[in-house]
Amino acid sequence: MYRTRKRQRALSCCKSPRSTFLAPHSSFTCYDDDVWTEIAKYLDGKSLARLGMTNRWFRKLIKEESVWKYACLRDLQVPALRAVHASWMMLYMSAFDGRHSYSYRQKEKHIDWMRIGAFFFESPMAILMEKLVVPKRIAQLYDDPQKAIQGYGGCVVKNVKTGIWIVDLQLVRCPVCNLNTCEGTMQTLDARHAELFLQEGYRVGDWDYVDIGTHRVDKHHTAASGAIFDLKHVKSRQTADVLDLKAWVGKPNDWQPKARIGHYGVAVNTNLQPNEGISVKYQVMRSGGASEPAVSIRISQQLI
């Protein structure tokens, strides 16, 4: 993820020597807290870790929450937050240490993945779609999820945990059978709240995904696509930019997955070769019972 930086001369002094190039009466030191805190904000996670290994003073410096908050918001490219319920340092690590949802469970089914990015839920309402077009009558998606999915290819999920959501695109083996030799694959748009991996209920397996609806089409499908948006911003200019398919969807003979992400939502599209249809599954994970907030959402497409 990061390129190796050219090795620089290491700082080896343990005291705070005065700079030799400043005026004699200057109070600035090479280890001025405010200056180095600002410098640290422009380093990536790996560089921050290396800086912390220099000596005790720098180790203490990089523990500043403001440094990691700046790094998180910068690298995830999301709007600033007033507060989170976890350490910014831990949030950064869980977002950029290479882990994804299949790292915890179903490793044997996992094939490959790619990080799409992150977006922001400002409201607790999400709209899920398998067609990359906003429905003219969104009120129809408020019905029973299964009914809305079968009728309109999408639904509204209520009580979503607000904040930063991280999105990956997963490629997994077909879940219909348990054969490792099965060549069937499934594409999954996998979105999760940024704090999910830090929650004990998730790590021990108490929280799991629940199917909320399935849509099956028994005829050739040109593409496997899906989108997740903050319902409050579904008709905003930013959402329109994400759904501007001409700007990012590949040509018909381009089989590589493509994705587009904005401040309040994400969309993905993979052109398909001749097939006999597709099955789309919608899943939601909540932090406990059915009345608890949704902390992860999946839209999976499987060829049939």
Q: How far apart are CA 17 and CA 196, in angstroms?
A: 43
How many Å apart are CA 152 and CA 141, to the nearest integer? 7
Do residues 229 and 237 make contact, with C-beta atoms less than 8 angstroms apart? no
pLDDT at residue 124, rounded to an integer: 97
For residues 115 and 105, give the distance between their C-alpha atoms in angstroms, rounded to a whole number. 18
The residue to which tokens 């999915």 are assigned: 149
Neighbours of 243 (CB within 10 A): 21
Contact 145, 215 (CB under 8 A): no
Report residue 178 as tokens: 């348990």
- Report the run of H or E that residue 301 belongs to, with start and end: strand 294-303
The predicted pLDDT at position 224 comes to 93
Q: What backbone torsions phi and psi does residue 28 show, to the nearest 5 degrees?
A: -70, 140
Q: pTM, whole model, 2 decimals?
A: 0.82
- Cβ(256)–Cβ(268) below 8 Å: no
Tokens of 300: 């999976």
Give me the tens of pLDDT residue by residue for the chain, a chain 304 residues long. Answer: 434 343 343 333 334 334 343 444 444 445 556 777 777 777 888 888 888 888 888 888 778 888 888 888 889 988 777 678 889 989 999 999 999 999 888 888 899 999 999 999 999 999 999 999 998 888 888 888 999 998 888 999 999 999 999 999 999 987 655 445 455 788 999 999 999 999 999 999 999 999 999 999 889 989 999 999 999 999 999 999 999 999 999 898 999 999 999 999 999 999 999 888 899 999 999 998 889 999 999 999 987 6
